Amino acid sequence: MDKGDHISVTLSGASVNGTEEDSLTTKQPQRRSLRRSWNQLPRCQRNLIILAVLALCLTLVLVLYNDQIDAENNRVIGNNGGAFLFRENREVANSAGIVQNGLSDGMNALDAGNLNNNLKNPLPNIGPPPLSFSNDNAPVFKDVKVIDTPNLNKKSDDNLQHAGERPKESLLQGPLVEFPNKISIQENNDNRIDEPAVEAQSGGGDDDNRAAVEAAILNPRVVPGTNNVLITDYINNMEAKLVAQKQHFHGATNERQTAVVAAFRHSWNGYKKYAWGHDNLKPLSQSSHDWFGLGLTIVDSLDTMYIMGLEDEFTEGREWVSNFLTFDINRDVNLFEVTIRILGGLLSAYHLSGDKMFLSKSIELGNRMLPCFLSPSGIPYSDVNLASMSAHSPKWSPDSSTSEVTTIQLEFRDLSRSTNISIYEKVTHAVNKKVHALEKTSGLVPIFINANTGTFRNYATISLGARGDSYYEYLLKQWLQTGRKTDDFLIVDYMRAIDGVLTKLLRRTPKEQHVYIGELINGKDFKPKMDHLTCYLPGTLLLGHKFGMPTSHLLLARDLLETCYQTYMRQPTQLAPEISYFALTTNEEQEIYVKPNDAHNLLRPEFVESLYYFYALTGNRTYQDMGWNIFQAFEKHTKVAYGYTSIGNVKHIFNTRLRDMMESFWLGETLKYFYLLFSDNRKEIDLDKWVINSEAHLVPLRNH
């Protein structure tokens, strides 16, 4: 047999030409051609074998391709690092101090002049110890098991896979939360003033709530649940012990606070001259702009003026609210915006001043917004006409923003607690329970929810920026507002969500290791985009850590604060853009970059808010110096003759493109946080007694 013709194998059976008997007798192995055997097979069998081989090859190709994708993702996320190893220059010793040492009121501060000289790492040494809080506030969760997870190199759906080895007990990692498949969580009188607790997932009481709402909206000027008692009569007959006690503030005590007060007065005087009673000032055209027709700037500014000690200006605002603020306006308004700005502003002014007029206005406004809760699902409609008291979904979509329907509970609950009228808390806490019961992605929620069906929009984006941000903020703050119960599903949802942030949204840039929070487009595709709105998160995480949240929350807060600061300092104006993008690979020229359409600055407060929390909870004056750099940038690039204005381009100091709009949150939030940040008394607002809403208005903490 010619070996060059084909390959042969030894067969144990009969030879080709001989008989089986001959083969058994001689015991000689015979050789049979594979090609001949293949040709002798029926055609159908040959086709089946070919198809099987092709399928095997295709499977191998797909497996190898997916392995290459995983390897590339691991390289992008960070070599030799873990989900919590945010910056390579972070020392383990510092992290040990975080966990083991107590809070230091006299932390070492960086020299202010060094901040601008070290943009890559503006916080090289937070001070010994960096941050820590007493264990007295740590909650003991009955239904949630908190564990240390020393190794994150294991690949799973909920953990990022990283290359390289890590210490088994890395202090940078911090504890994660392990949740059983089924958690039984029971409310303890969380949504009732005088009714028994109910199961968190229960939909019971919806019919009763609907009937109460329908009765309440028959006459918005009477107290719900009473025999047509007028609001003014009800408020005037309140027991003295139930009325808020007047708070006292001492005014500016240093040059930086004085500068902020001057900025507020400059803004207020321009508004008073050209836009009095309207929503917003247009300082360049010396005119006004109305969004809702509710005097947004006045109501948003009331508690700022009170805290700053501006008695004359506060009196001016108070008189306008008493005599001219009316809600009988035939115009659609947004439930969320009116709640956090107007209702929140009125309630905060009431709690600080003890003036019952503000509470009276709050009740009427609350009544007029109740029609939003008459949707088929109980998830509120986004818009309501305060005069006709008819509510509907936004005109541009059948869906409401998730953050909007979940960022009204602090205010409505406080309205109930302040008046002993339970309906406001009932309808808004019912929304908490409905959202709690919905399926989520590692605790993260899509940014749209349908008021008719009560379900999230399929394939919607997941983001901690616009339309998603304050959902997570209010989970924590509602838990604080109601006494920090250990079996409250709100805090369980919060911990799940932050765990989801750490495993699904957290990334760091490949060269300079900037930590940022991205988005999941269509709920699954990662996009390295972070809104300035997301810069509220460091402060919220730090506040949670003060009250017992895991160390991983603290570490993320510190590193994300650095990144947010860089979004300011890397721009020629030293003002942050509305949106920043981040490099995914080493081939990209810039680690943090801005697209032309996202380069505007609206005088937003979120990063200053986080700086305030870091200063208030640590006493480290480094954060004051960082804030002062930003305040000076606002002074230089946004101040005009009759106020301050948004700008269209933070990337060019000679072409900032003034936009002729001074938003109400400039006075209500940004300047308030600057003032508190620069205070000599970091506890000017006692965060053990107050919680601050999404519009920087103060709400008292309760023990239930």
What lies within 8 Å, CB to CB, of 235 at 6+ separation is: 356, 359, 360, 363
Asked about 165 being catalytic, the answer comes back as: no
Asked about 337 being catalytic, the answer comes back as: yes
Residues linked to residue 401 through DSSP beta bridges, in sequence order: 448
Are the CB atoms for 513 and 78 separated by under 8 Å? yes
pLDDT tens per residue, range 133-186: 444 455 555 444 433 333 333 333 333 333 333 333 332 233 333 333 332 323
Helix locations, 27-78, DSSP H: 34-40, 43-77
Q: Given this model, what pLDDT does residue 66 score? A: 53
Are the CB atoms for 111 and 190 separated by under 8 Å? no
Dihedral, CA of residue 654, residue 659, residue 665 and residue 667, to nearest 10: 70
Q: Identify the H or E element spanning 232.
A: helix 231-236
Q: Phi-psi region for residue 356, left (φ > 0), alpha (ψ -120 to 50) or beta?
A: alpha
User: In the 3-class helix/strand/coil scheme, how is 618-635 assigned residue by residue?
Assistant: HCCCHHHHHHHHHHHHHH
Of 509, 506, 507, 508, whose CA–CA distance to 591 is shortest?
A: 509
Residues linked to residue 392 through DSSP beta bridges, in sequence order: 383
Asked about 469 being catalytic, the answer comes back as: yes
Dihedral, CA of residue 124, residue 128, residue 131 and residue 133, to nearest 10: 180
- State CA 65 to chain mean position distance: 35
Are the CB atoms for 670 and 604 separated by under 8 Å? yes
Q: Give me the amino acid identity at 519.
A: E
| Rg of the chain, C-alpha, whole Å | 31
Of 234, 195, 451, 474, whose CA–CA distance to 364 is shortest?
A: 234
Residues linked to residue 176 through DSSP beta bridges, in sequence order: 147
Choice among 606, 609, 625, 669 that is catalytic? 606
CA distances from 541 to 79, 137, 556, 679, 699 (A): 26, 15, 8, 22, 19
d(CA 365, CA 326): 9
Taking CB atoms within 8 Å and a gap of at least 24, the contacts of 594-598 are 594/650, 594/651
Residue 71, pLDDT > 90, answer: no
Would you call 688 exposed, middle or buried from its count of C-beta atoms within 10 A (0-12, 13-18, 19+)? exposed
The arithmetic mean of pLDDT across residues 101-119, rounded, is 36
pLDDT tens per residue, range 193-215: 333 333 333 334 677 889 999 99
The arithmetic mean of pLDDT across residues 370-382, rounded, is 96
The arithmetic mean of pLDDT across residues 386-413, rounded, is 95
The arithmetic mean of pLDDT across residues 497-514, rounded, is 98
How many CA atoms, within 13 angstroms, populate the side-chain half-sphere of residue 94?
18
Which range in 38-42, 128-132, 503-507 is most confidently predicted, on average pLDDT?
503-507
Q: Tokens at residue 124, please?
A: 């090289």
Q: Given this model, what pLDDT does residue 137 score? A: 54
pLDDT tens per residue, range 299-321: 999 999 999 999 999 999 999 99
Residue 477, pLDDT > 70, answer: yes
* Summary mean pLDDT of the chain: 81
Asked about 364 being catalytic, the answer comes back as: no
Whether the upstream peptide bond of residue 129 has omega within 30° of 0, thus cis, is yes
Choice among 473, 578, 625, 695 that is catalytic? 578
pLDDT tens per residue, range 439-466: 999 999 999 999 999 999 999 999 999 9
pLDDT tens per residue, range 220-243: 999 999 999 999 999 999 998 899
Q: Tokens at residue 79, please?
A: 């070599």
CA distances from 683 to 218, 319, 614, 677, 688 (A): 44, 30, 12, 10, 10
Q: Tokens at residue 246, please?
A: 């007047």
Choice among 187, 355, 469, 695 that is catalytic? 469
**Is 687 or 93 the better-scoring residue by pLDDT?**
687
The arithmetic mean of pLDDT across residues 672-688, rounded, is 98
Choice among 190, 303, 337, 493 that is catalytic? 337
Q: How confident is the model at residue 46 (pLDDT cuts 50, 70, 90)?
A: confident
Tell me, what DSSP letter sits at residue 655?
-
